[in-house]
Structure 1
Amino acid sequence: MSVETIDFQGDDGKAIHLCRWTPATAPKAAVQIAHGMGEHIGRYQPVAERLNEAGYVVYGNDHRGHGRTDPDRLGDLGAGGWEAVIADARCLNERIDETHPGLPRILLGHSMGAMLAQQYVCRHGGTLDALVLSGSPGFTGWFASILPRLIARIETWRLGWDGDSALMANLLFGQANKAFDAEGASGFEWLSRDADEMRKYVDDPHCGAVLRAGSLSALFRGAREASSPAHIAGIPVSLPIHVISGTADPVHNEMKNLDRLFSRYQQAALTVTRRLYEDGRHELFNETNRRQVLDDLVDWLDGVL
């Protein structure tokens, strides 16, 4: 296994930080990882190592406003906003295809990265051979989705596109740790039952940033598109889709929103499966049972490719 740290250019010429993990043998498929909000691709080293062991080459970039792509502007997706982040994912997909012509391509999105993947697959599903959604918040009901979109628009008007909104941060994550507060005071126990992994997150200067007001507003618009039956109709019905989640993950509203996503995909006759991990929290790849999660992921990929 070898790891390279490189950059690629987005459509607008912006330098996007990229990591590539290459297995010791010729790869049988390529996995593109889209990380979540307030983190960076370096946290996926153990995931890449396990996939390398199984013969997969792994690519992953730091999104705009994250990690080494924008270390001085964490949380700010920039002028291109959410659409530019999706375009970057498409650029990386094309780069993978050019580097490994004919190799199957898998997109693995976690949390905000799952939201990206849910929108990407509606537009560019033909560029993928499999899709994995980890820690997805699912699809909110129409009425429940109005409030955050409205507040995000008001906060963008009040604070400006790159304004930090304490109100939005509280709306998104203020209640996430409620069920786990007794375990400690960090506020991030909802991420994992593994205290060491949670502490690494807290101590990481590139972790914890919430998107700025304008970026959140664009993200919510994208989520509405991804949940629309009209856009879901653009997903190839033969594309294998796998949804993984912890039952104790607070982002999916006690499974209600994840069930809505799964149901809507089934209604569209998509090829979708799911794997739930009892008592698992938000970051399954950093959970106490992460080895099982990764082994299950490899088994699923091997079975559909």
Structure 2
Amino acid sequence: MNFDFEWQTQDQLTLRGKCWLPGSERPQGLLCLIHGFGEHIGRYEHVAQFFNQHEIGLIGFDQRGHGRSDGKRGVVPSYESLLVNITEFLALTYSKFPEVPLYLYGHSMGGNIATTYLLREQPRIIKAGIITSPWYELTNQPPKLTVSLGKMISNLYPSFTVSSAIIPEDLSSDLTVGKKYMEDPLVHNKMGGTLFTGVSNAGLWILENTDKLVHPLLMMHGKADNVTSQKSSEKFARKAPKGLLKYKAWNGMRHELHNELIKEKALQYILDFLEEVQEPQV
């Protein structure tokens, strides 16, 4: 069973999402997905289908300025607005599924936002987290001068964006993934300065505040990721509280593990983690 949904944010944007549910009336769990930069929730339909086969649902929304949601592409008023939208999304999800275990799942930029949310808010309605290829730092950081100029311009012109250098081959060693990505009309490559600065600063904050982790967390990263830094994920893993974090690095794999040649193994790894943290059924 699938359904679309939408809501109006505090600042009157309409954000649109989709939910994929297994056939049972009450799924064993529900993954609450926060997608990455430039993409949209529709790119995760095959992920939802995998988990639906195992009685787990997936729900997510197109972040502001992305996909079918409102907002200028790549522009946000603040990083904080992204966290507010997560609160709204989770409140809406919990109201629909109050008895279903919820898991916060973030990929890439969404991994940054989801990690920040887990560390800062420590939400009680979330049972565990799954973070893949998080943007704590980029694999190839832009020059400091470029960042400073971008910050200055964004302060003067908040809606100003630049085109990010997305290389389709960096997404997956299955090259059809990058081709479909570039042909997808809902995908964009526009990055506003406020968004870039906010996510970058949040990534540094995350790496200094790993001790605030209270949820069981699975983190996965491809060792050949040329987009987001796998070394930064390793740093998080080394500093995280003992017993809460499970870290998996995938040899030779690129940025989108759920779209890689080993995607079935990666998704199964997530499923195994979910089974580990699920409470015994009464």
Match of 1:263 in 2: 238
Which structure dedicates a bigger proportion of its chain to helix? 1
Match of 1:247 in 2: 223
Q: What is the 5 A alignment of 1:91-240?
A: 91-127=88-124, 128-138=126-136, 147=144, 150-157=148-155, 160-165=157-162, 169=164, 187-229=167-209, 232-236=210-214, 239-240=215-216
Unaligned runs of 5+ in 2: none
Match of 1:42 in 2: 42
Output the TM-score relative to the length of structure 1: 0.82
Match of 2:258 in 1: 285
Change in Cα spacing, 1:35 to 1:58, as seen in structure 2 (3 Å) is same
Unaligned runs of 5+ in 1: 174-186
Match of 2:72 in 1: 73
Contact 1:240/1:271 (8 A) holds in 2: yes
Change in Cα spacing, 1:258 to 1:83, as seen in structure 2 (3 Å) is same
Contact 2:30/2:101 (8 A) holds in 1: yes
> Which letter does structure 1 place at the counterpart of 2:277?
V
Output the TM-score relative to the length of structure 2: 0.89
Please, what is the CA RMSD of the aligned residues? 2.2
| Deviation (angstroms), 1:222 | 2.4
Q: In the alignment, which of 85, 90, 99 is matched to residue 88 of structure 1?
A: 85
> Within 2, Cα distance between the matches of 1:294 and 1:233?
27
* CA deviation map 1:5-40 (0-9, x unaligned): 120222333211010111101211111000000100
Q: In the alignment, which of 247, 253, 260 is matched to residue 274 of structure 1?
A: 247
> Within 1, Cα distance between the matches of 2:175 and 2:235?
31
Contact 1:66/1:75 (8 A) holds in 2: yes
Calculate percent identity across the aligned residue pairs: 23
Match of 2:21 in 1: 22
| Deviation (angstroms), 1:69 | 0.2
| Deviation (angstroms), 1:146 | 9.6
> Within 2, Cα distance between the matches of 1:296 and 1:269?
20
> Within 2, Cα distance between the matches of 1:263 and 1:34?
24
Q: Secondary structure at the match of 2:204?
A: helix
Match of 1:299 in 2: 272
* CA deviation map 1:235-268 (0-9, x unaligned): 31xx210111111111344x32221111121xx4
> Which letter does structure 1 place at the counterpart of 2:220?
I
Q: Secondary structure at the match of 1:7?
A: strand
> Which letter does structure 2 place at the counterpart of 1:286?
N
> Within 2, Cα distance between the matches of 1:125 and 1:145?
32
> Within 2, Cα distance between the matches of 1:95 and 1:111?
23
Q: Secondary structure at the match of 1:249?
A: coil
Q: How many residues were matched structurally? A: 273
Q: Secondary structure at the match of 2:190?
A: coil
> Which letter does structure 2 place at the counterpart of 1:59?
I
Q: Secondary structure at the match of 1:126?
A: coil
> Which letter does structure 2 place at the counterpart of 1:276?
A
Contact 1:246/1:281 (8 A) holds in 2: yes
> Within 2, Cα distance between the matches of 1:303 and 1:145?
39
> Which letter does structure 2 place at the counterpart of 1:251?
V
